[in-house]
A and B are shown apart, each in its own frame.
Chain A
Amino acid sequence: MSVDTSAAVRSREENWQPILELAVEEVFEIMVGSRVKPAPRSEHKTSAGFTAMIGLAGSLCGVLAVGCDAQTAKQIAKGMLGDIVTSEEQVSDALGEICNMVAGNFKNKLTGMDGRCLLSVPTVISGGQYQLRSLAGGDLLDVCVLFEGAPVAVRLELHS
Protein backbone atom coordinates (compact mmCIF):
# COMPACT_ATOMS: atom_id res chain seq x y z
CA MET A 1 0.00 0.00 0.00
CA SER A 2 1.42 3.39 -0.94
CA VAL A 3 1.56 6.34 1.39
CA ASP A 4 -0.94 8.20 -0.81
CA THR A 5 -3.43 5.37 -0.67
CA SER A 6 -3.22 5.20 3.11
CA ALA A 7 -3.98 8.93 3.30
CA ALA A 8 -7.09 8.46 1.18
CA VAL A 9 -8.14 5.49 3.29
CA ARG A 10 -7.45 7.42 6.49
CA SER A 11 -9.65 10.29 5.30
CA ARG A 12 -12.58 7.86 5.22
CA GLU A 13 -11.74 5.80 8.29
CA GLU A 14 -10.98 8.80 10.50
CA ASN A 15 -13.68 11.03 8.99
CA TRP A 16 -11.58 14.07 8.11
CA GLN A 17 -14.62 16.10 7.01
CA PRO A 18 -15.27 17.69 10.45
CA ILE A 19 -11.54 18.32 10.84
CA LEU A 20 -11.53 20.32 7.60
CA GLU A 21 -14.67 22.17 8.71
CA LEU A 22 -13.01 23.09 12.00
CA ALA A 23 -9.85 24.21 10.20
CA VAL A 24 -11.93 26.55 8.01
CA GLU A 25 -13.95 27.90 10.94
CA GLU A 26 -10.82 28.68 12.97
CA VAL A 27 -9.09 30.52 10.13
CA PHE A 28 -12.12 32.72 9.49
CA GLU A 29 -12.67 33.43 13.17
CA ILE A 30 -9.05 34.28 13.98
CA MET A 31 -7.87 35.97 10.79
CA VAL A 32 -11.07 37.45 9.33
CA GLY A 33 -12.90 38.09 12.58
CA SER A 34 -16.01 36.27 11.40
CA ARG A 35 -17.75 33.15 12.67
CA VAL A 36 -18.72 30.89 9.80
CA LYS A 37 -20.61 27.63 9.91
CA PRO A 38 -20.83 24.81 7.39
CA ALA A 39 -23.86 24.97 5.13
CA PRO A 40 -25.25 22.39 2.69
CA ARG A 41 -23.43 22.92 -0.59
CA SER A 42 -26.48 21.86 -2.57
CA GLU A 43 -28.40 24.87 -1.24
CA HIS A 44 -25.72 27.42 -2.06
CA LYS A 45 -24.35 27.69 -5.55
CA THR A 46 -20.95 29.38 -5.59
CA SER A 47 -19.94 31.49 -8.56
CA ALA A 48 -16.18 31.41 -8.57
CA GLY A 49 -14.97 34.99 -9.01
CA PHE A 50 -11.79 34.02 -7.18
CA THR A 51 -10.32 30.58 -6.60
CA ALA A 52 -7.20 30.03 -4.51
CA MET A 53 -5.39 26.70 -4.71
CA ILE A 54 -2.54 25.11 -2.84
CA GLY A 55 -0.80 21.80 -3.39
CA LEU A 56 -0.02 19.27 -0.69
CA ALA A 57 2.80 16.80 -1.17
CA GLY A 58 4.38 14.03 0.85
CA SER A 59 2.37 11.87 3.20
CA LEU A 60 -0.74 13.76 2.14
CA CYS A 61 -0.94 14.51 -1.58
CA GLY A 62 -3.60 16.59 -3.23
CA VAL A 63 -5.00 20.03 -3.88
CA LEU A 64 -6.99 22.31 -1.61
CA ALA A 65 -9.08 25.03 -3.26
CA VAL A 66 -11.06 27.92 -1.76
CA GLY A 67 -13.54 29.67 -4.04
CA CYS A 68 -16.09 32.45 -3.76
CA ASP A 69 -17.53 35.31 -5.77
CA ALA A 70 -15.59 38.54 -6.23
CA GLN A 71 -17.59 40.60 -3.74
CA THR A 72 -17.21 37.94 -1.05
CA ALA A 73 -13.47 37.72 -1.70
CA LYS A 74 -13.24 41.49 -1.26
CA GLN A 75 -15.17 41.32 2.01
CA ILE A 76 -12.86 38.56 3.27
CA ALA A 77 -9.85 40.73 2.42
CA LYS A 78 -11.45 43.67 4.25
CA GLY A 79 -12.03 41.42 7.25
CA MET A 80 -8.31 40.69 7.29
CA LEU A 81 -6.93 44.13 6.47
CA GLY A 82 -9.68 46.67 7.05
CA ASP A 83 -10.78 49.32 4.59
CA ILE A 84 -7.32 49.74 3.09
CA VAL A 85 -8.20 46.97 0.62
CA THR A 86 -8.50 48.59 -2.79
CA SER A 87 -6.86 46.42 -5.43
CA GLU A 88 -7.61 43.04 -6.97
CA GLU A 89 -4.05 42.06 -6.12
CA GLN A 90 -4.75 42.53 -2.41
CA VAL A 91 -7.95 40.48 -2.71
CA SER A 92 -6.09 37.65 -4.47
CA ASP A 93 -3.32 37.79 -1.91
CA ALA A 94 -5.81 37.62 0.96
CA LEU A 95 -7.69 34.65 -0.47
CA GLY A 96 -4.40 32.88 -1.18
CA GLU A 97 -3.42 33.30 2.46
CA ILE A 98 -6.81 31.98 3.61
CA CYS A 99 -6.23 28.91 1.45
CA ASN A 100 -2.69 28.53 2.80
CA MET A 101 -3.82 28.77 6.40
CA VAL A 102 -6.76 26.38 5.95
CA ALA A 103 -4.43 23.78 4.42
CA GLY A 104 -1.83 24.26 7.14
CA ASN A 105 -4.36 24.28 9.95
CA PHE A 106 -5.99 21.13 8.56
CA LYS A 107 -2.79 19.13 8.26
CA ASN A 108 -1.59 20.30 11.65
CA LYS A 109 -4.72 18.77 13.18
CA LEU A 110 -4.05 15.34 11.68
CA THR A 111 -2.01 12.93 13.73
CA GLY A 112 1.06 11.31 12.25
CA MET A 113 1.70 13.96 9.58
CA ASP A 114 4.69 15.43 11.40
CA GLY A 115 6.80 17.15 8.80
CA ARG A 116 5.93 14.65 6.10
CA CYS A 117 3.35 16.79 4.36
CA LEU A 118 4.52 19.98 2.66
CA LEU A 119 2.56 22.85 1.16
CA SER A 120 3.23 24.72 -2.06
CA VAL A 121 2.85 28.47 -2.32
CA PRO A 122 -0.76 29.33 -3.21
CA THR A 123 -2.05 30.18 -6.69
CA VAL A 124 -5.10 32.38 -7.23
CA ILE A 125 -7.32 32.46 -10.32
CA SER A 126 -9.72 35.34 -10.88
CA GLY A 127 -12.72 35.00 -13.16
CA GLY A 128 -15.11 32.15 -13.57
CA GLN A 129 -14.56 30.93 -17.12
CA TYR A 130 -12.49 27.90 -16.30
CA GLN A 131 -12.86 24.32 -15.20
CA LEU A 132 -10.63 22.89 -12.52
CA ARG A 133 -9.67 19.27 -13.06
CA SER A 134 -7.38 17.73 -10.52
CA LEU A 135 -5.54 14.59 -11.51
CA ALA A 136 -5.79 13.45 -7.92
CA GLY A 137 -8.52 10.95 -8.67
CA GLY A 138 -8.96 10.07 -5.03
CA ASP A 139 -11.15 11.13 -2.17
CA LEU A 140 -12.90 14.46 -2.06
CA LEU A 141 -13.69 16.53 1.02
CA ASP A 142 -16.14 19.31 0.32
CA VAL A 143 -17.00 22.10 2.75
CA CYS A 144 -19.26 25.07 2.15
CA VAL A 145 -19.47 27.86 4.71
CA LEU A 146 -21.51 31.04 4.71
CA PHE A 147 -19.51 34.24 5.13
CA GLU A 148 -21.82 37.23 5.62
CA GLY A 149 -24.52 35.18 3.93
CA ALA A 150 -22.46 34.29 0.87
CA PRO A 151 -21.09 30.82 0.20
CA VAL A 152 -17.39 30.04 0.32
CA ALA A 153 -16.48 26.64 -1.09
CA VAL A 154 -13.53 24.69 0.24
CA ARG A 155 -12.57 21.52 -1.58
CA LEU A 156 -9.76 19.11 -0.75
CA GLU A 157 -8.97 16.50 -3.36
CA LEU A 158 -6.69 13.76 -2.11
CA HIS A 159 -4.60 11.61 -4.41
CA SER A 160 -5.56 7.97 -4.47
Chain B
Amino acid sequence: MDKIRALIVDDSSVMRKIIERSLRQAGIDLENVVEAGNGAEALAALRENRVDLILCDINMPVMDGLEFVRQMGAVENAKGVPVVMITTEGSESHVVEAISCGARGYIRKPFTPDQVKEHVVPLLGKKV
Protein backbone atom coordinates (compact mmCIF):
# COMPACT_ATOMS: atom_id res chain seq x y z
CA MET B 1 0.00 0.00 0.00
CA ASP B 2 1.36 3.43 -0.98
CA LYS B 3 1.46 6.23 1.49
CA ILE B 4 -0.90 9.05 0.60
CA ARG B 5 -0.24 12.78 0.71
CA ALA B 6 -3.44 14.72 1.35
CA LEU B 7 -4.43 18.37 1.23
CA ILE B 8 -7.35 19.18 3.54
CA VAL B 9 -9.07 22.52 2.96
CA ASP B 10 -11.56 23.78 5.54
CA ASP B 11 -11.84 27.04 7.49
CA SER B 12 -12.41 25.02 10.66
CA SER B 13 -9.24 23.55 12.18
CA VAL B 14 -11.46 21.15 14.14
CA MET B 15 -13.01 19.87 10.93
CA ARG B 16 -9.60 19.47 9.31
CA LYS B 17 -8.55 17.22 12.20
CA ILE B 18 -11.78 15.22 11.97
CA ILE B 19 -11.33 14.72 8.22
CA GLU B 20 -7.72 13.57 8.75
CA ARG B 21 -8.86 11.14 11.45
CA SER B 22 -11.61 9.85 9.15
CA LEU B 23 -9.08 9.20 6.39
CA ARG B 24 -6.94 7.17 8.78
CA GLN B 25 -10.03 5.30 10.03
CA ALA B 26 -10.85 4.54 6.39
CA GLY B 27 -7.58 2.63 6.22
CA ILE B 28 -5.71 5.23 4.20
CA ASP B 29 -2.03 5.32 5.11
CA LEU B 30 -1.24 9.03 5.28
CA GLU B 31 2.35 10.06 4.73
CA ASN B 32 1.77 13.77 4.93
CA VAL B 33 -1.22 16.04 5.51
CA VAL B 34 -1.14 19.65 4.33
CA GLU B 35 -3.82 21.92 5.75
CA ALA B 36 -5.33 25.11 4.33
CA GLY B 37 -8.01 27.39 5.75
CA ASN B 38 -9.47 28.59 2.45
CA GLY B 39 -9.13 28.23 -1.30
CA ALA B 40 -6.40 30.83 -1.67
CA GLU B 41 -4.26 29.14 0.98
CA ALA B 42 -4.91 25.83 -0.74
CA LEU B 43 -3.66 27.14 -4.09
CA ALA B 44 -0.52 28.43 -2.39
CA ALA B 45 -0.04 25.08 -0.63
CA LEU B 46 -0.43 23.21 -3.93
CA ARG B 47 2.32 25.28 -5.55
CA GLU B 48 4.72 24.07 -2.88
CA ASN B 49 3.50 20.53 -2.25
CA ARG B 50 2.69 17.48 -4.32
CA VAL B 51 -0.39 15.65 -3.04
CA ASP B 52 -2.38 12.59 -4.07
CA LEU B 53 -5.78 13.68 -2.78
CA ILE B 54 -7.62 16.89 -1.93
CA LEU B 55 -10.60 17.17 0.41
CA CYS B 56 -12.25 20.56 0.30
CA ASP B 57 -15.07 22.44 2.01
CA ILE B 58 -17.24 24.81 -0.03
CA ASN B 59 -18.27 27.64 2.31
CA MET B 60 -15.06 29.38 3.29
CA PRO B 61 -13.94 33.00 3.57
CA VAL B 62 -11.50 34.61 1.09
CA MET B 63 -11.96 31.94 -1.60
CA ASP B 64 -14.64 29.26 -1.50
CA GLY B 65 -14.13 25.65 -2.45
CA LEU B 66 -15.79 25.85 -5.85
CA GLU B 67 -13.56 28.72 -6.93
CA PHE B 68 -10.54 26.80 -5.66
CA VAL B 69 -11.47 23.79 -7.78
CA ARG B 70 -11.93 26.05 -10.81
CA GLN B 71 -8.48 27.61 -10.35
CA MET B 72 -6.46 24.61 -9.24
CA GLY B 73 -6.18 23.29 -12.80
CA ALA B 74 -3.65 26.04 -13.48
CA VAL B 75 -1.32 24.68 -10.79
CA GLU B 76 1.09 22.08 -12.15
CA ASN B 77 1.08 20.02 -8.95
CA ALA B 78 -2.72 19.70 -9.07
CA LYS B 79 -2.96 17.98 -12.44
CA GLY B 80 -4.82 14.69 -12.10
CA VAL B 81 -5.26 15.00 -8.36
CA PRO B 82 -8.79 13.96 -7.32
CA VAL B 83 -10.84 16.46 -5.29
CA VAL B 84 -13.65 15.44 -2.96
CA MET B 85 -15.89 18.15 -1.58
CA ILE B 86 -16.88 17.79 2.09
CA THR B 87 -19.56 20.33 2.88
CA THR B 88 -22.85 21.18 4.56
CA GLU B 89 -24.12 22.41 1.18
CA GLY B 90 -25.97 19.27 0.24
CA SER B 91 -28.32 20.39 -2.48
CA GLU B 92 -28.38 18.70 -5.87
CA SER B 93 -27.44 21.95 -7.59
CA HIS B 94 -24.33 22.28 -5.42
CA VAL B 95 -23.31 18.71 -6.25
CA VAL B 96 -23.80 19.34 -9.98
CA GLU B 97 -21.83 22.59 -9.79
CA ALA B 98 -18.99 20.96 -7.86
CA ILE B 99 -18.74 18.08 -10.32
CA SER B 100 -18.85 20.47 -13.28
CA CYS B 101 -15.99 22.44 -11.68
CA GLY B 102 -13.90 19.29 -11.56
CA ALA B 103 -14.65 17.64 -8.21
CA ARG B 104 -14.65 13.83 -8.31
CA GLY B 105 -16.69 13.20 -5.17
CA TYR B 106 -19.08 14.87 -2.76
CA ILE B 107 -19.61 14.14 0.93
CA ARG B 108 -22.26 15.90 2.99
CA LYS B 109 -21.57 16.96 6.57
CA PRO B 110 -22.26 15.39 9.02
CA PHE B 111 -20.36 12.37 7.72
CA THR B 112 -19.11 9.04 8.99
CA PRO B 113 -15.67 7.49 8.37
CA ASP B 114 -17.46 4.86 6.26
CA GLN B 115 -18.76 7.57 3.95
CA VAL B 116 -15.24 8.96 3.60
CA LYS B 117 -13.97 5.48 2.75
CA GLU B 118 -16.75 4.90 0.22
CA HIS B 119 -16.10 8.16 -1.62
CA VAL B 120 -12.33 8.49 -1.33
CA VAL B 121 -10.77 5.03 -1.59
CA PRO B 122 -12.00 4.31 -5.17
CA LEU B 123 -10.38 7.55 -6.33
CA LEU B 124 -6.96 6.46 -5.06
CA GLY B 125 -6.93 3.41 -7.34
CA LYS B 126 -3.94 1.14 -6.83
CA LYS B 127 -2.42 3.39 -4.22
CA VAL B 128 -4.52 1.76 -1.49
Residues of A within 8 A of B (CB): 26-27, 30-31, 77, 80-81, 84, 89-90, 93-94, 96-97, 100-101, 103-105, 108, 113-115, 117-121
Could you list 30 A-B pairs, sorted by A, with CB under 8 Å? A26-B110, A30-B110, A30-B111, A30-B112, A31-B110, A81-B14, A81-B17, A81-B18, A84-B17, A90-B14, A93-B12, A97-B12, A100-B12, A100-B109, A103-B88, A104-B87, A104-B88, A105-B88, A105-B109, A105-B110, A108-B88, A113-B91, A114-B92, A114-B93, A115-B92, A115-B93, A115-B94, A119-B59, A121-B11, A121-B59
- State the total of A-B contacts with C-beta under 8 angstroms: 68
Q: Does B60 contact A (CB under 8 A)?
A: yes
- Which B residues are in CB contact (< 8 Å) with A113? 91
**In the complex, which range does the number of interface residues on chain B fall in?**
20 to 34
- Which A residues are in CB contact (< 8 Å) with B29? none
Q: Does B61 contact A (CB under 8 A)?
A: yes
Residue on B with the closest CB to A85?
B14
Residue on A with the closest CB to B16?
A93
> A30-B112, A100-B12, A100-B59 given. 13 additional CB < 8 A pairs?
A31-B18, A81-B17, A97-B12, A100-B88, A104-B89, A104-B109, A105-B88, A113-B91, A114-B92, A114-B93, A115-B94, A121-B59, A121-B60
The answer to whether B14 touches A80, judged by C-beta atoms less than 8 angstroms apart, is yes
- Which A residues are in CB contact (< 8 Å) with B109? 31, 100-101, 104-105
